[in-house]
Structure 1
Amino acid sequence: MIKTQYFSQKRRGLSFTGKACRLLLAGVTALAGMANLSSCSQYDLDERTPDNWGASIYSYLVDNGNYTNFSKIIDDLGYRSVLDKTGSKTLFAADDDAFKRFYANNKWGVHSYADLTVAQKRMLLFGAMINNSYQLNYLCNTEGNVKGVAMRRLSALSPYDSVPKLTPDEMPDNKYWRHLKTQPYVYCFKDLTYTPMIHFMENFLVNNKITNEDYDFLYNHTTNRQAGQASVNGLQVVEEDIRCSNGFIDRTEEVMTPLDNMAEIIKGKPQMSQWNSLLERFCAPDSSEEASIKLGLNWPTEKAYQKRFFSEWSQGGKSYNASADGSVIDPAELLSFDPGWNQFYSGTNTTPDVELQRNMGLMLVPTNEALEEYWNNGEGKVLSERYGTWDKVPNNVVAELINNNMQKYLISCVPSKFPTMLNKSNDPMNISESDVDSVFLGNNGAIYMTNKVFAPTSFVSVMFPVIVFNDNYKILWSIINSGRYDALLNSLTSTYSLFVPSSKAVLQYVDPCSYAKSELEMLRFHWNNATKEPYASVHKYDPATGVVGDSIGVKSGTWSLNRRLEFLLKDHIVVGDVTDGHTYYRTMGNSIIRVNNPGKGKDGMTVEGTYQMNDNGKKIPVTNVYNQQNGHTYIIDEEPILGTRQSVKDIIDATPEFEEFGRLLEASGIIENNYKEKTCGDNYINAFNSYQYTVYVPTNESIRQLISSGQLIDPDVYEQMKESGADVTADSTRLVNFVKYHIQDNALIIGASNSSSNYETAMIDDATKGFARLNVTADDNNITIQDKQGNVRHVLKTDKNLYNRFAREYIYPGKDAKDASNIETNSSAVVHLIDGPLLFWNKQGAHAKKRARRH
């Protein structure tokens, strides 16, 4: 048992029985002003006493004659002057009969008043006191008299009221505590925040739809709650709202002791010791200058500490992610929240004080037997087979397991709400009352001790290899984690094909920001073990020879890299199954990939992005395949999947069969190098908007026929007329609309999934003011298109260079693409040659005919 001590030290002029005690009490009193809630607001009990109210709290206890234990505690602690005068206090007091039962059976092992230490007396008094006066039913109201929403309130118990002396054998067994184990003991607070008490009032339970059966469950069915009953720290209030001149007394059925926080509850239960050993991997001693000085220590050579847990959410509503020596903790090794933080709160809608009052956390903790069963025979067997012992399981994997069993809102996790209780991945937790052996309520949350392990979805999803083999996939994991894509990839209601570039593959990232520059650049991504962030060295790259030059710079930080990494990740995710018999697939990043020999897996399966298809001609081998519950994870080692450098105009300009459409495209004015105050990589089609598109290119002959028949103006004539100042409005509108009618939303590819629908084009229909549509059917072998006039066109497959041509167009921040340092957005497109034009109109323009004949 950890020893606690009440200090009365004279070192450096400090006395916790004198001046320092009064300072602490002043701080406690000041804290009361933070509440400002609905209590007895018509009275200022610090200034005057209501005429119809009784004696002071202290006088009532003495005069009653059955509170001798409580009144003696007040005397011994020198607190009579406070509780015998005006003030604002709420005291939950136990009478002498309750103390008799307490001495007969308590967790402290005391058998009489004489056995109580000073620290224990302070816990009994201040842990049962609130520094404001409240009628009992008002405890569930918060600031602004918001009714029925509060379940916790800070007690008057300061962390300095009980300071444990921690000996080496009591210290957690991890590297962060090792340097302290050479000392005989250290002063180490369980937490340096005040201790809340929990209370369940009728209005709160009704307002939050918590049933009496839920309440009885929380107290292990040792209660039989009836409507209207109130409890504080699990004790029934048997006599409420005893009015005193300086506040209220509420008599509890038993002696109230302060509740431990969740971490201390787990540590103190032998049947949860194995889980505690996993949990305490993430705790560290955090030194406090203020606490050290208050304890009279010679800072900084002598230090006092508090026990904290590395977590995303800790004291002050901030992450705790650095060790004492300044080392940054890997984000993968952070708990969701600090289970040792007494004043834990989860919401951010109001003030921290109010959020604390409204809720508390929950941890599902399996018994040792349940954890052993999971490890040896359950879903954890895959971990057992890989690592052999729990000691060898990496912290990031353990954190994933623990975090799946942490819930930030207890009121959403009572039995009546079990059907809607979700895990970390927003999948059903599938918990039932029979899974919970016992419940332990703490000051910051509840512990459900379970007879089974609730494994994270990530252990059965496509995320599993990224987590278990994290060291080799940290770059991809970092953007999954920071962008919260884990919730998506862990979803068991969808199917995913996740391609994971290894730490070797991400050394070969051709930077899209260099696509408009005279020389390409390659980024080689690395993991910074000091900052726990990715960075990239920058190299000149010659795609013709494949030569990568020496480093010419380094990029780091979220602004420089996160957009690139996000595009990288999305280009490696296919929503669907790439083994379904097709060849081409759209990624989450709206790019296209080609998958070859998927049935061969690591023995012959390859994948190509549009850069591989168009630019370097490489097929990336798949080196391993993991068959998971929601899809497949494919490991690639040679290089990442990349998007092409080629724009739609690049492809059209390089293909003679696309020449006439290229002239129309150029004349239409929809090609830009600057777009919405941003810069474009190379001839950006301004009808594109961060999506994927199909561009249908009619044959040269069919376009010449339209021009010769006067249905379209010849682009050369159009440019001459513009230069001469002629009115070309009608011709311009028709030309632009013709081009836009051939640009369709959704990239339809021969060899991709079958599709049949009315797709929007980039052209606006003046009649409907909406986008004109095409009726298109696509399958593995053909694409047919029907236009507004009923003409049916087909993609021509006589030459593989005339269909399924893939383009990608980028927009960068700034004014010059040659200076691009980040990606704003991008669009992808597929280009097909079709056997005739798509016509929206049904009348020929006579003026266009004449101009065409004159030309």
Structure 2
Amino acid sequence: MKYYKLLTMLALGAAWAFPVACTDKFEEMEDHIPSWLNSNIYDYLQKRGDCNYYIRLIDDCGYTDAMKVSGSNTLFFSNDASFERFFQENEMGYRRYEDLPYSFKMMLLKIGTIPYSQLLERLSLSDRGQITFRRTTDFEVEDTIPVVAADKLPDSKFFAPYRRAGKPIKLLSDATKWTLVQFFPDVMEGKRITDDDFSFVTGIPREAEDASLFANKIIQKDIVCQNGYLHELEDVLVPPENMAAYIRSNGNVSRFNSLMDRFACPVFYKRDENGDSIFQTRYFNQSPAYAFTEFNGTNAPGLLYFDPGWNLYQPKGGNSNQPGYETDMGCMFVPTNEAMDRFLSADGEGSDFFEAFGSWDNVPDNIAADIVANHQKYSFLSSLPSRFNDIKDEAGYEMEVSKENIVDKFVGRNGVVYVTDKVFTPLDYRTVMGPAKIDSLNSIFNQAMVDAQFVYYLRSLKSTYQFFITPNEYMTDYVDPVAKSYASTNYQCKLDFNLTAQNTVAATATRTSDGEVIMDNGFPLGTNGVVSNSGILKNRLEDILNCQTLVTASNEDFAAARAAGQEYFITKGYAPIRITADNKISGAGNETPLSITKVYNKENGNAYLIDGILQNTTTSIYDVLSTRDEFKEFYDMCALLGIFVNNPTTSTVAPGRKVKFLNQYHYTVYVPTNEAIRGAQEKGWIPTVAQIENEGDLSVRDSLENVMERFVRYHFQDNSVFVKGEQVEDEAYLTSTINENTNKFYPIYVTNRGGSVTLSSEADHALGKVTAHVLTNGNAYNLMTRDLTLNNSDKEKATTIEAYTYAVIQQIDQVLMFDRPSGDSKQN
């Protein structure tokens, strides 16, 4: 019964210790040991006759007694044939057992020793019964401390002092414990790793019940001895390096490694017994469980997603039930040198990188960090070959990787490295943002995208953009629309943008009249003419970006529209811009057109470099209608009806007057000629201003005003229609006059083609008639306006744009009537 209990404990994987003092008890029980139960671990290996190298290993490391009597262990071992193969094939130059250093022998023994006895099935589980993908062993990181020659140190500015000194240093690849990677049947089933996944990653075939450590097959498992379990490996268990060390040692990926090593630092670990410093290699990273963001008071030049050298790598950190390292490991996709060179070439995918930098050595640290990080995956289990079709980068976008892209694989102690034939460009650089992020000559615009939070729009692959980037040298002469509303011309200014030492955007204000820098502490936007308030700057940068971002159906549609003669386009922020056939571009407020100097084709559209800022107009609808004689009759009606208002609230005000019923959108205002309006009045279709003003009966007056207001509102239409704008055929656009029978707004039907715009009113459309034409024989068409609302009840104290309305004013040759007038009677 005693031995029945003993074997049951072994089968359950229980910890079982025999102290030396119990030797006599062993002797007493020898006659009762079953024939199938092997003696102690040492004697079993010795009696086999084919484990002589392993016996020597145990003896030389001083573990003879431990393997004979004391304790309870699980041991992964290899036979003599495995050692002979190792001596023939290893790259370390060890050609016979006598060549092995003591530290290497200690590593071979301890890395395969687990300090409690467990069946392979039980090794697949943690102490609390959870699937265990990786586990630690008896090996301690200080059991072998490499001495690294100066020329073999990571080539980073942080290691530079040690490289220049030319002396070797004691350097751990990481100061955390090494782990074994367990491809055991229960682990593979529990982690949903398929046989094909295993075979692809390790390069060895697998049958249903096969088990492996790393890519080392277990050829005999669950050998039962009196003081533990043994599992025989096909090859000598030389633990693979971590991901970082493998990448550094693989000459075929040296380009990538040179980028990665920029973020490596020698972090002091401890002093040894001789007083020599021992360092560990750390990489700047932002991982939740092992972040490293500054070194000796210096902030990181860039952050990787995780430290590729961290032995105990874990995606998010552990919990009370299971350490995080047991559940998963990291993964990296590392391009070959050939792939890196092909990418960074004049006709490669990274042609804009090539244009900006010329070589990988010249790529700035922050961009190098982005590139390296984009090749990192927090989870190997989410990056299995069987999941390549669905794999996304850590920003959540498709990586577009296939097995055909993988030219080599490596299973390390903290993750898997896939060597690839392609570079996986970070999303931001594949999109229209790329030229701004890549080239330091566009750094103000790059920071503007961040400050104004435009990156969230521009990195979308579901939209197509035409994005106009202004290089640093041209980020000047922005006419500030808020300052333009100030009564004092001293504060009506232009802004010249610049980057501060803290890499934030600031601006210097110059007077619009004489260009002098404002040196007056009364300037509402800043101090001594310098605008540094982040809220104000974000507001203006957003205004610029809204005007320089065009959303299109596709690049092809945009090109086709231009080829068909379209010149006017509506941007993301509803601002109108004009692009002519000779690649000149202007906003509504530019005095002279700008030039498009460079075009980049990106995955979500085109990016363009332009030699200035696309300036919005500061002219309102009121400004145009109230100052031009050809609009007098229409303006007089608007004025009588109180359509133009400036009713400040407790927190907002208009710089001047604005149309009270328009929202933050883009509109068209159709203004009939004075003659057309007077003709309609003579026919009795609409009342005159004098008729209303002279009407003494208030009820009649109200009725006449209602007729006039519905007439006027019918000339305010949603959507800006430009001569040489978007070509449409009989397109219905809603007006601001509501149909009181249907409670829907009346439409106007627009045809825009060949530089001619014709309109059909609701009344005429049913009869197939054209009602009016936009007149292009003068300068009363395509007049661009913007009504603003500012952020203070006192415009002299306003600092930001609160809201806005864009509108284009078009003069037409006839009035628009939403219903059919009868005879000369007044419209009802």
TM range (shorter): 0.7 to 0.9
The aligned residue for residue 472 of structure 2 is 503
- The 3-state SS of whatever aligns with 2:298 is coil
Q: Distance in 1 between matches of 2:801 and 2:793?
A: 13
- The 3-state SS of whatever aligns with 1:504 is helix
Q: 2:397 matched to 1:435?
A: no
The aligned residue for residue 446 of structure 1 is 416
Distance 1:831 1:386, change over 3 A: closer
Task: Assess if the C-alpha contact under 8 Å between 2:253 and 2:335 holds in 1.
Answer: yes
Q: 2:806 matched to 1:828?
A: yes
Equivalent of residue 635 in structure 1, options 590, 609, 634? 609
- Spell out the pairing of 1:655-666 with structure 2 (5 A cutoff): 655-662=628-635, 665=638
How much is the aligned-residue C-alpha RMSD, in angstroms? Answer: 5.6
Task: Assess if the C-alpha contact under 8 Å between 1:710 and 1:848 holds in 2.
Answer: yes
Which has the higher Rg, Structure 1 or Structure 2? Answer: 2
Q: 2:507 matched to 1:537?
A: yes
Q: Distance in 1 between matches of 2:287 and 2:546?
A: 31
Q: Distance in 2 between matches of 1:506 and 1:763?
A: 42
The aligned residue for residue 263 of structure 1 is 244
- The 3-state SS of whatever aligns with 1:214 is helix
The aligned residue for residue 471 of structure 1 is 440
| 1:472 Cα deviation from its structure 2 partner | 1.1
Counterpart code for 1:217: F
Distance 1:161 1:697, change over 3 A: farther
Q: Distance in 1 between matches of 2:753 and 2:226?
A: 85
Counterpart code for 2:493: E
Q: 2:543 matched to 1:567?
A: yes
Aligned residue pairs, count = 761
Q: Distance in 1 between matches of 2:367 and 2:188?
A: 37
| 1:153 Cα deviation from its structure 2 partner | 6.7
Task: Assess if the C-alpha contact under 8 Å between 1:784 and 1:795 holds in 2.
Answer: yes
Distance 1:308 1:553, change over 3 A: farther
The aligned residue for residue 728 of structure 2 is 755
- Spell out the pairing of 1:204-603 with structure 2 (5 A cutoff): 211-220=194-203, 222-226=204-208, 231-235=212-216, 258-280=239-261, 282-285=262-265, 287=267, 291-292=269-270, 305-310=279-284, 313-314=286-287, 316=289, 320=293, 324-326=296-298, 329=301, 335=304, 337-342=306-311, 360-371=329-340, 379=348, 390-395=360-365, 398=368, 402=372, 405-411=375-381, 413-421=383-391, 431-451=401-421, 453=423, 465-466=435-436, 470-480=439-449, 496-518=465-487, 519-528=491-500, 530-531=501-502, 533-542=503-512, 544-549=513-518, 552-556=528-532, 559-574=535-550, 575=552, 576=555, 577=558, 580=563, 581-598=565-582
Task: Assess if the C-alpha contact under 8 Å between 1:462 and 1:629 holds in 2.
Answer: yes
Task: Assess if the C-alpha contact under 8 Å between 2:289 and 2:317 holds in 1.
Answer: no
Q: TM-score, structure 1 length as denominator? A: 0.71
| 1:219 Cα deviation from its structure 2 partner | 1.1
The aligned residue for residue 586 of structure 2 is 608
- The 3-state SS of whatever aligns with 2:540 is helix
Q: Distance in 2 between matches of 1:409 and 1:771?
A: 55
Distance 1:263 1:64, change over 3 A: closer
Equivalent of residue 665 in structure 2, options 691, 697, 702? 691
| 1:441 Cα deviation from its structure 2 partner | 2.3
Distance 1:790 1:624, change over 3 A: same
The aligned residue for residue 179 of structure 1 is 161
- After superposition, what is the alpha-carbon deviation per residue over 1:477-519, rounded to whole angstroms, capped at 9, x for unaligned? 2344677867876788976544321211113333344243333
- The 3-state SS of whatever aligns with 1:473 is helix
Counterpart code for 1:527: L
- The 3-state SS of whatever aligns with 1:759 is strand
- The 3-state SS of whatever aligns with 1:438 is strand
Q: Distance in 1 between matches of 2:280 and 2:514?
A: 59
- The 3-state SS of whatever aligns with 1:552 is coil
Counterpart code for 1:745: D
| 1:473 Cα deviation from its structure 2 partner | 0.8
Deviates more, 1:455-464 or 1:617-626: 455-464
| 1:440 Cα deviation from its structure 2 partner | 0.9
The aligned residue for residue 627 of structure 2 is 654
Deviates more, 1:154-163 or 1:682-691: 154-163
- After superposition, what is the alpha-carbon deviation per residue over 1:92-111, rounded to whole angstroms, capped at 9, x for unaligned? 74146499649945677776
Task: Assess if the C-alpha contact under 8 Å between 1:214 and 1:416 holds in 2.
Answer: yes
Task: Assess if the C-alpha contact under 8 Å between 1:127 and 1:257 holds in 2.
Answer: no
Task: Assess if the C-alpha contact under 8 Å between 1:673 and 1:682 holds in 2.
Answer: no
- After superposition, what is the alpha-carbon deviation per residue over 1:174-231, rounded to whole angstroms, capped at 9, x for unaligned? 33322334554555443455656544566876788754323311112x12253x6555
- Residue segments in structure 2 that go unaligned for 5+ positions in a row: 1-7, 19-36, 46-53, 520-526
- After superposition, what is the alpha-carbon deviation per residue over 1:608-649, rounded to whole angstroms, capped at 9, x for unaligned? 11111xxxx222234455577876554333x31121112233
Equivalent of residue 15 in structure 2, options 56, 79, 97? 56
Distance 1:202 1:754, change over 3 A: farther
Task: Assess if the C-alpha contact under 8 Å between 1:647 and 1:807 holds in 2.
Answer: yes
- Spell out the pairing of 1:831-846 with structure 2 (5 A cutoff): 831-840=809-818
Distance 1:743 1:273, change over 3 A: same
Q: Distance in 2 between matches of 1:57 and 1:277?
A: 49
Q: Distance in 1 between matches of 2:540 and 2:807?
A: 20
Task: Assess if the C-alpha contact under 8 Å between 1:261 and 1:341 holds in 2.
Answer: yes
Counterpart code for 2:265: P
Deviates more, 1:115-124 or 1:269-278: 115-124
Q: Distance in 2 between matches of 1:112 and 1:474?
A: 59
Task: Assess if the C-alpha contact under 8 Å between 2:644 and 2:657 holds in 1.
Answer: no
Distance 1:549 1:54, change over 3 A: closer
| 1:806 Cα deviation from its structure 2 partner | 1.3
Q: Distance in 2 between matches of 1:182 and 1:730?
A: 92
Distance 1:708 1:488, change over 3 A: same
Task: Assess if the C-alpha contact under 8 Å between 1:748 and 1:830 holds in 2.
Answer: yes
Identity of aligned residues (%): 24
Counterpart code for 1:828: Y
Counterpart code for 2:471: S
The aligned residue for residue 5 of structure 2 is none
Q: Distance in 2 between matches of 1:130 and 1:547?
A: 79
Q: Distance in 1 between matches of 2:319 and 2:813?
A: 64
Task: Assess if the C-alpha contact under 8 Å between 1:163 and 1:189 holds in 2.
Answer: yes
Counterpart code for 2:443: K
- The 3-state SS of whatever aligns with 1:797 is coil
Counterpart code for 1:538: T
| 1:689 Cα deviation from its structure 2 partner | 4.7
Counterpart code for 1:561: L
Q: Distance in 1 between matches of 2:707 and 2:115?
A: 78
Q: Distance in 2 between matches of 1:154 and 1:702?
A: 90
Q: Distance in 2 between matches of 1:131 and 1:825?
A: 71
Q: Distance in 2 between matches of 1:425 and 1:557?
A: 30
